[in-house]
């Protein structure tokens, strides 16, 4: 009780002394700090698990790769079954859904569960990333703060975007790319009102990372080979390659997820998935965990260190065997990542995308350099730009990919080839796949926020809030007399739903339909409702129709009122006037 009392006193003091804009800036810096702490924590726990497993003979015998992923997935399964008691949700899609359909509400338990499930998954060999769980934890923190301080939905959305920027800034130490990621993925308007909070969150998060982890960069790389105009065609080729790889990555993800849906038992999913991952790790060890070490080895030009110990060590002197192994990583990283998800693991797709892109970029460079045609390109540069091409294609985040690599390299020497490759990859992938792994299912549910204001406002609207149920229902067998006395006389409406005994909508009666004979008493006992009712011009299906579809039905039918049914059972009506009023209010709230 005392805590509530002092908190109320604080809220009153805040209201009197701190403006709303200033308070949002304070909260954004706090969110960045907390998201940075979450990212640091999740990285340290994961590395601690990996270091523990590396002691002794664990990594000197690839046979143990078969069992490690199964152990990690089983620990996550126990945690989910007995502690969390809810299935693991993918971070970014679940956050986007909460923004569009739950007014930014994210359960506070998601603050700490990702900090446990993701390290167990990745530390034991799950081929996923830690960025998604770090973002999920930070977003849950932001949502909790938003509820605590009674913030509006749009402000909560901004704070959740600040959390994602903070997590990326902390993990990659790239504050500008972090801000752009929040704008591209969460469909924010890049205005001064949103830019300053994102900037503060990104800065506070990267300072947190520096404080705990030092200022050592994730990818220790300096551009040694500058861009030359003669290499332009090769970067175009890399853009095409990363585009097709992005399409493959996305299709493979949904294909494997659909395959694992056949297994109804979580244990079967765990065993099949764990053993499949173990088999891939045995032949391709760099698939283990996130894969940052693999990327750094490629950037250093040491492909033997990047590949590690494999059953093909005796053939690594042949460059084409190396190219084949690296291409295998390109192919199987998507398979291993999705299998980890499908088997019950927790993680993200951003970092696996970087790993896959680095391998593909290095493969393209090695092929060009070893064709014997006298061409020579920078393998390190292609490794970096391949990462950007995959991020642009898989996540549809071209600006994020460009600025991420620019910040990693500490300059803009590769800006031109980055733009070439990223633009081609994004254009081809966007035309082939309208939606990403993050957004496809949300788009199918009508729950996807975009930069299209009209579409976003319709997505944020709730059909239930505009349904009116104060209509008097009629029965098909009801006589005209009863309809007039119990319906028309007692209603202020000129529209009546016709509903049978089971609640199914049979039709509608308009006052205009009966106006010309409603005072003819000779018809009172001989005319029935079913004879004068008509079919509605369109039906709105609650739970199935999106608000965009509802608007389209009003536009096509020209009606002012349309009935709402759920499984053909009558629910109520939506009027065009109330719908447009709700639309305008939501638009003002969203853009105000």
Give the CA-trace dihedral at 566, 570, 571, 575, to 10 degrees. Answer: 110
* Gyration radius from the chain CA atoms: 29
Q: Per the structure block, which two tokens stand in for 456?
A: 């976003």
pLDDT at 218: 65
Q: Where are the alpha helices (DSSP H) in 261-349?
A: 266-283, 292-299, 303-307, 319-342
Q: Where are the alpha helices (DSSP H) in 498-546?
A: 511-514, 529-532
The predicted model scores a pTM of 0.84
Distance of CA 572 to the CA centre of its chain: 34
pLDDT at 57: 45
Q: Per the structure block, which two tokens stand in for 443?
A: 């788009």
> What is 455-591's CATH number, 3.40.190.10, 3.10.580.10, 3.50.50.60, 3.40.50.300?
3.10.580.10
Q: Per the structure block, which two tokens stand in for 426?
A: 């994004």
Q: Which CATH superfamily is domain 229-450 in?
A: Clc chloride channel (1.10.3080.10)
Identical fold for domains 2-213 and 229-450, yes or no, is yes
DSSP string, 360-398: HHHHHHHHHHTSSSS----HHHHHHHHHHHHHHHHH--H
Cα–Cα nearest to 535, from 503, 574, 562, 572? 562
Count Cα atoms within 13 angstroms, Cβ side, for 469: 7
CATH architecture of 2-213: Orthogonal Bundle (1.10)
pLDDT at 60: 47
The label of the residue with tokens 């759920």 reads 566
Burial (CB < 10 A; 0-12, 13-18, 19+), residue 261, is exposed
Give pLDDT < 50 ranges for the chain.
Answer: 57-61
Per-residue pLDDT of 427-475, as tens digits, reads 999 999 988 998 888 888 777 777 777 777 777 788 888 999 888 888 8
What are the domain boundaries of the chain? Answer: 2-213, 229-450, 455-591
């Amino acid at each position: 009780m005392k805590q509530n009392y002092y908190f109320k006193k604080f809220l009153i003091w805040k209201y009197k002394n701190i403006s709303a804009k200033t308070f949002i800036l304070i909260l954004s810096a706090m969110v960045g700090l907390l998201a940075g702490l979450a990212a640091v924590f999740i990285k340290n726990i994961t590395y601690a698990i990996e270091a523990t497993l590396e002691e002794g003979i664990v990594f000197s015998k690839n046979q143990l790769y078969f069992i490690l992923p199964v152990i990690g997935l089983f620990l996550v399964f126990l945690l989910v079954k007995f502690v969390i008691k809810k299935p693991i949700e993918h971070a970014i899609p679940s956050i986007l859904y909460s923004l569009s359909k739950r007014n930014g509400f994210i359960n506070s338990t998601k603050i700490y569960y990702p900090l446990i499930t993701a390290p167990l998954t990745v530390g034991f060999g799950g081929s996923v990333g830690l960025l998604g769980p770090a973002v999920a934890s930070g977003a849950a923190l932001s949502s909790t703060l938003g509820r605590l301080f009674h913030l509006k939905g749009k402000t909560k959305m901004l704070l959740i975007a600040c959390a994602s920027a903070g997590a990326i800034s902390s993990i990659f130490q790239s504050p500008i790319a972090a801000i752009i990621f929040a704008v591209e993925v969460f469909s924010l308007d890049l205005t001064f009102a949103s830019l300053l909070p994102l900037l503060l969150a990104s800065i506070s998060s990267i300072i947190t990372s520096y404080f705990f982890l030092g200022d050592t960069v994730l990818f220790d790389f300096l551009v040694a080979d500058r861009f030359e105009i003669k290499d332009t065609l090769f970067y175009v080729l890399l853009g095409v390659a990363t585009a097709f790889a992005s399409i493959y990555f996305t299709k493979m993800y949904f294909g494997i997820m659909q395959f694992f849906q056949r297994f109804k038992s979580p244990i079967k999913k765990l065993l099949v998935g764990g053993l499949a991952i173990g088999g891939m790790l045995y032949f391709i060890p760099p698939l283990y965990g996130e894969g940052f070490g693999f990327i750094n080895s490629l950037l250093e030009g040491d492909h033997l260190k990047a590949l590690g110990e494999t059953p093909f060590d005796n053939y690594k002197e042949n460059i084409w065997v190396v190219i084949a192994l690296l291409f295998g990583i390109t192919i199987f990283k998507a398979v291993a990542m999705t299998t980890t998800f499908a088997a019950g693991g927790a993680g993200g797709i951003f970092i696996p995308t970087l790993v896959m892109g680095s391998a593909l970029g290095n493969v393209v460079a090695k092929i060009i350099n070893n064709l014997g045609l006298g061409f020579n390109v920078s393998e390190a540069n292609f490794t970096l730009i391949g990462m950007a091409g995959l991020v642009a294609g898989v996540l549809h985040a071209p600006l994020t990919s460009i600025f991420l690599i620019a910040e990693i390299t500490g300059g803009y020497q590769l800006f031109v080839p980055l733009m070439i490759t990223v633009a081609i990859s994004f254009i081809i992938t966007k035309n082939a796949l309208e939606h990403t792994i993050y957004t496809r299912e949300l788009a199918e549910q009508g729950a996807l926020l975009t930069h299209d204001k009209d579409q976003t406002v319709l997505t944020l609207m709730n059909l239930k809030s505009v349904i009116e149920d104060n209509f008097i229902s009629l029965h098909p067998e009801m006589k005209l007399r009863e309809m007039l006395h119990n319906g028309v006389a007692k209603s202020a409406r000129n529209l009546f739903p016709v509903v049978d005994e089971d609640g199914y909508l049979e039709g509608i009666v308009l006052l205009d339909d009966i106006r010309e004979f409603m005072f003819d008493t000779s018809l009172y006992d001989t005319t029935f409702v079913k004879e004068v009712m008509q079919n509605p011009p369109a039906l709105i299906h609650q739970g199935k129709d999106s608000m965009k579809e509802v608007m389209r039905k009003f536009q096509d039918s020209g009606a002012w009122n349309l009935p709402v049914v759920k499984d053909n059972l009558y629910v109520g009506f939506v009027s065009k006037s109330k719908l447009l009023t709700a639309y305008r209010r939501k638009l003002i709230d969203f853009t105000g």
